[in-house]
C-alpha cells in the first residue's frame, strides 16, 4: 500500500472513532464522568489498527510507545486547561490546551521516540459564566436528578440533541489528526507519529459545543473529567505497546481499551 493511500485510510478510519467516542460522552451524565471520553483513545484505536494491518505489529508497537509521551502531555494539558476555561471560556481554554500539549509533548517526545526507535526493527466567579441557551438550566437539573446516587447515568434522549454539524466537526478533528500523525510518522519515524495518537482530538470541539448550549460551568466540569481520562490514556498506550507483538491484534487493542476504561 502506498504511503499516500495509507494516510488516507488512517484519516477515514480515525474520524468515525472520534465521532463515536464523542457521542458516548454526550450520552453520559454527570459531565465530570462524561468528560473522561474527552480524553479517549479514539484516534489511537483507528490508527493502530491500520498500522498493524498495513505495516506489521512491530510498527504498531513503536507507535504505541511514542503515544506514551503524548498521553503524559495530554494529562498535563487538561490540568492546565481547567483554570483557563473557567476564566476565559472554551475558545481560549482550548488554545491553552493545545499549547501546553504541544510544549510538553515536544519536550518529552524525543527521549521516548528515541528509545522506541532503538528497540524496533468547580464553581465560577459571579458573572464569569457564559449564558446558556433557554431551557438548558432545566436540562442540567434533570441530568443531575437522573444521575444522583449513581456513578453515572445514560441519557439516550441526548442523541436527539446532538447537531449533525457537531459530529462533522469531530469527524474532521479525528481525520486531520490522523493525517498529521501519518505525515509525522513518515518524516520523523513511527514513534514520533505515535505521539500524535494522544493529541486532544475530542475535547476542544466538545467544550465549545457544551459552552454554547449549556454554559461555561458544565464545560469546566467536562475538562475536569478529562484529566483522569488522559491519565488512563498513558495506561492504554503502555498496554498496547507491551501486548501488540505478543498476542493477536484484536485482543491487544481490547486489552488496552479495557485498561483505559478501568483506570479512568
Q: Give tens-digit pLDDT for 48-84.
A: 888 877 788 888 888 888 899 999 999 999 999 999 9
Task: Indicate the pLDDT class of residue 158, thresholds 50, 70 and 90.
Answer: low
Is the pLDDT score of 127 beyond 70? Answer: no
Residue 33, Cβ density class (10 Å: 0-12 exposed, 13-18 middle, ≥19 buried): buried
Rounded mean pLDDT, 221-236: 90
How far is Cα 21 from Cα 60, in angstroms, rounded to an integer?
Answer: 21
Q: Give tens-digit pLDDT for 11-52.
A: 665 566 666 666 666 666 666 666 787 788 888 887 888 887
Share of the chain above pLDDT 70, in %: 62
3-state secondary structure the chain: CCHHHHHHHHHHHHHHHHHHHHHHHHHEECHHHHHHHHHCCHHHHHHHHHHHHHHCHHHHHHHHHHHHHHHHHHHHHHHHHHHHHHHHCHHHHHHHHHHHHHHHHHHHHHHHHHHHHHHCCCCCCCCCCCCCCCCHHHHHHHHHHHHCCCCCEECHHHHHHCCHHHHHHHHHHHHHHHHHHHHHHHHHCHHHHHHHHHCCCCHHHHHHHHHHHHCHHHHHHHHHHHHHHHHHHHHHHHHHHHHCCCCCHHHHHHHHHHHHHHHC
More confident residue, 207 or 69: 69
Amino acid at each position: 500500500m502506498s504511503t499516500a493511500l495509507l494516510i488516507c485510510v488512517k484519516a477515514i478510519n480515525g474520524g468515525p472513532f472520534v465521532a463515536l467516542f464523542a457521542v458516548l460522552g454526550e450520552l453520559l451524565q454527570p459531565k465530570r464522568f462524561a468528560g473522561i471520553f474527552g480524553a479517549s483513545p479514539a484516534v489511537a484505536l483507528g490508527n493502530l489498527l491500520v498500522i498493524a494491518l498495513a505495516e506489521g505489529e512491530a510498527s504498531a508497537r513503536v507507535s504505541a510507545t511514542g503515544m506514551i509521551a503524548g498521553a503524559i502531555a495530554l494529562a498535563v494539558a487538561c490540568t492546565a486547561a481547567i483554570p483557563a476555561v473557567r476564566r476565559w471560556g472554551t475558545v481560549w481554554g482550548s488554545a491553552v490546551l493545545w499549547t501546553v500539549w504541544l510544549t510538553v509533548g515536544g519536550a518529552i517526545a524525543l527521549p521516548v521516540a528515541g528509545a522506541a526507535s532503538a528497540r524496533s526493527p468547580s464553581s465560577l466567579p459571579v458573572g464569569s459564566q457564559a449564558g446558556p441557551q433557554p431551557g438548558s438550566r432545566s436540562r442540567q437539573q434533570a441530568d443531575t436528578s437522573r444521575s444522583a446516587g449513581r456513578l453515572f447515568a445514560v441519557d439516550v434522549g441526548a442523541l436527539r440533541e446532538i447537531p449533525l454539524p457537531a459530529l462533522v466537526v469531530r469527524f474532521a478533528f479525528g481525520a486531520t489528526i490522523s493525517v498529521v500523525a501519518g505525515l509525522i510518522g513518515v518524516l520523523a519515524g513511527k514513534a514520533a507519529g505515535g505521539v500524535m495518537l494522544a493529541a486532544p482530538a475530542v475535547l476542544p470541539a466538545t467544550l465549545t459545543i457544551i459552552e454554547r448550549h449549556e454554559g461555561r460551568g458544565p464545560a469546566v466540569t467536562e475538562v475536569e473529567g478529562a484529566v483522569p481520562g488522559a491519565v488512563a490514556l498513558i495506561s492504554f498506550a503502555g498496554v498496547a505497546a507491551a501486548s501488540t507483538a505478543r498476542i493477536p491484534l484484536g485482543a491487544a487493542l481490547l486489552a488496552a481499551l479495557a485498561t483505559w476504561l478501568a483506570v479512568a
